[in-house]
A and B are shown apart, each in its own frame.
Chain A
């Protein structure tokens, strides 16, 4: 099960978004236990701010679509600035139900952003509503976790992050139902 690309010396950086103080503390601990670097914020707008996108930018970003949005290439200055400001975020995990901007709203904004659309987004919710889950997955969420989130859920994140590290590997893996992670490592 050896990895072709061994980048374990660099920690993955996860941006966690949740308006609940307790849930933020828990997800942070779960992620750190799994050796992720964590930034936790309490709202979608703070998440966008951290990434270097303000609420308006997320829509304006469509201007940049004609340019390369690949993280590897040094394309436009604006894209590079956004990447730098995002401080190398490898995955975003967000609560669904938040005042103001929901996790779903945040997902949409991220997926509309040329700089950040390739960052995997995971949604968490305390409510098991199949239509909600399907909608999130269909609109680009990699996973949907029911709260309270467990360590076993967090362990499912690594394959998504490894995929991000080796972008050359074809990634046509999206399904609209709960998926099994197949090991590509």
Chain B
């Protein structure tokens, strides 16, 4: 595939993520911060985000595994995940965090478990799409480098 076609494909792919509500405008802001002096910025942010999100989701999982859940601890993790999601523009994941926040505020363990399922779901979807996005990005960079 040629460079122009790849770029269009990437653009359309990101657009579809906007339309599905998976990403919001904040992600565009992040893309805008990538330039020739920081050509891997988007990839770096996505990588940081995914590592962080996975760590937090695992921690939440672990916390909810205890007989007596430490809800204030849980709250701290949700806050972190919601913050990261917001910062990268992961709209649906951010909304899923609000669910967990609510259930945690209510000290509702069952509700928390359900909310966590949704979070895990949204995260897995997002990660798959990010992987596809990065694959396109890298192909573009490769072609651009070869063309020089």
Contacts and interface: CB of A to CB of B under 8 A. Distances in A.
Given A20-B84, A148-B87, 11 more contacts: A22-B49, A25-B44, A29-B33, A29-B38, A29-B41, A97-B79, A126-B79, A126-B83, A148-B29, A148-B86, A151-B32
Given A126-B82, A147-B86, A22 B33 contact: no
A151 B29 contact: yes
Interface in A127-150: 147-148, 150
Contacts of A126: 79, 82-83, 86
A2 B107 CA distance: 59
Contacts of B82: 126
Q: Give the interface size bracket for A toward B.
A: 10 to 19
B143 interface: no
B83 A23 contact: yes
A38 interface: no
14 contacts: A20-B84, A20-B87, A21-B48, A23-B83, A26-B30, A26-B45, A29-B33, A29-B41, A97-B79, A126-B79, A147-B86, A148-B89, A151-B29, A151-B32
Interface of A: 20-23, 25-26, 29-30, 33, 97, 99, 126, 147-148, 150-151
Interface residues of B, number: 22
Nearest to B76: A99
A25 B88 CA distance: 11
The dominant DSSP class at the A interface is helix
Contacts of A21: 48, 52
B48 A22 contact: yes
Residue from the set A22, A26, A33, A150 with the largest chain B CB neighbour count within 10 Å: A22
Interface in B23-76: 26, 29-30, 32-33, 38, 41, 44-45, 48-49, 52, 76
B41 A20 contact: no
A26 to B, nearest CB: 6
Residue from the set B33, B48, B87 with the largest chain A CB neighbour count within 10 Å: B87
